[in-house]
Structure 1
Amino acid sequence: MRQNAARRTALLDGAIEVLAREGSRGLTLRAVDTEAEVPKGTTTNYFANRAELLAQVMTRIQQRLTPDATQLADTMSEKPSAELVATLLKQLHARMRADRSSWLALMELRLEATRRPELHTELTRFFAAQLDGNIAFHLDAGLPGDRITVVLLYLAMLGLIVDDLTVPELLASFPVDDLIDAMAQRMLPAQG
């Protein structure tokens, strides 16, 4: 397999765009070649098969959606509070809007995993690691709430993100920032 890191990243980014635009059925190695604007057969030189490509797409999506370390450090300089949690959730939402393709690709992978046991196992591992990381970050930062609170926030944000991606008109009369503020205030214990 080829090792040109920049080319591999371009192919993975191409795969994300194909998944977001055409769904998992449209994701072929040839479609990735076309999206990445590389010669036919290039994707085959980097990935042994579609399953390997999908596994690496998850890692690339994680890289694309990871918050900027400097911005996160600036945000975390604030005192732990429900307001800080709301700020973090708003930043998550902003990242979703800035990289809509990655979120749509993740949704496509979730759907594909319902039909492919090997992908289901890999995706479950991926999301479990993400959730465990979010819980650890929250607790280690001294933010209000416990493990269950973080899971509830995760589930609420997932619903908000799915609706924003798929039927944004549904929540058009509810400003997202106001919803996130209310979610944090209502779900997090008062600091005292």
Structure 2
Amino acid sequence: MVRRNDQRRAALVDAAIEVLAREGARGLTFRAVDAEAGVPVGTASNYFANRDDLLIQTGRRVYERLQPDEAVLTRHRTAARDRETYAQLMRELVDRVSAFRSGYLALLELRLEATRRPGLRGLLTEQVRADLQANVAYHEGTGLPGDATAVRLLYLALNWLIVEQLTLPDVLSEGEREQLVEAAVERLVTDAQ
């Protein structure tokens, strides 16, 4: 039996994220993952049962890496409960997700691949639904202005803003993107709950 360690698995999945972002789903092979991770050929096949397993674990890893760290969460818990704070949270979210460019691009590839792979679609559906529910629950628990519909609308709007920023970065300037985040909060988030 092959001894599998968690660090090696994480390195392989992180390599898969990079391959997906750079080469797309068609370029995601065990050999490409091995090369990206700098491990001997055949290593990835010892860690993943098949390509579906690799795709699913890659999807999980992207979401793990997109989570804010405890310092960010602590700062948010102690911030004011107004629209300006809300706008700042959304700007930070866009910046954090955009900073993990390869992860978000890999996630887009995974979403496209999920249209053809029911197991991956199930994982991504479950993950996105859980994240959206967690965002609504967090929002409601913090007393920020607005309601669950505003959270969902911001989720949809900001996701496309991030796609635009990562795939066609010259369409909007950084200043325009920031103004759009603020305008989205201004228009979608009301003080009445």
**8 Å Cα contact 1:11/1:33 also seen in 2:** yes
Please give the per-residue CA displacement for 1:54-103, whole angstroms capped at 9, x wherever unaligned.
11112211121111211221133112111111111111111123210000
Calculate the TM-score normalised by the size of structure 2: 0.93
TM-score normalised by structure 1 residue count: 0.94
**1:16 equivalenced with 2:56 (yes/no):** no
CA-to-aligned-CA distance 1:44-63 (integer Å, 9 cap, x gap): 11111111111111221112
Is contact 1:82–1:188 with CA below 8 Å preserved after alignment?
yes
Q: Given that residues 2 and 46 in structure 1 are in contact (C-alpha distance below 8 angstroms), is that contact kept between their aligned partners in structure 2? A: no
**SS of the residue aligned with 1:168?**
coil
The structure 1 segments of at least 4 consecutive aligned residues displaced by more than 6 Å after TM superposition are: none
Alpha-carbon distance between aligned partners in 2 of 1:182 and 1:97, rounded to the nearest angstrom: 19
- Residue 174 of structure 1 and its aligned partner are, at CA, apart by 5.1
The answer for the alignment partner of 2:165 in structure 1 is: 164
Aligned counterparts of 1:123 and 1:57: Cα–Cα separation in 2: 11
Q: Distance in 1 between matches of 2:120 and 2:52?
A: 7
1:78 alignment counterpart: 79
CA RMSD of aligned residues (A): 1.6
1:126-165 matches, cutoff 5 A: 126-165=127-166
Partner Cα distance (1:29, 1:173) in 2: 37
Give the alignment of 1:94-113 within 5 angstroms. 94-113=95-114
Residue 122 of structure 2 is matched in structure 1 by 121
Distance 1:120 1:87 in 2: 32
The unaligned stretches of length 5 or more in structure 1 are none
**Is contact 2:21-2:106 (8 Å) kept?**
yes
Q: Corresponding residue for 1:183?
A: 184
Residue matched to 2:45? 44
The superposition leaves residues 137-163 of structure 1 with CA deviations (integer Å, 9 ceiling, x where unpaired) of 111111111111111010110111111
Structure-2 separation of matches of 1:43 and 1:102: 19
Contact 2:19 / 2:36 at 8 angstroms: preserved in 1?
yes
Secondary structure in 1 aligned to 2:131? helix
* Matched residues, number: 192
Tell me the alpha carbon deviations over residues 113-139 of structure 1, each in whole angstroms, 9 at most, x when there is no partner: 112222222211121111111111111
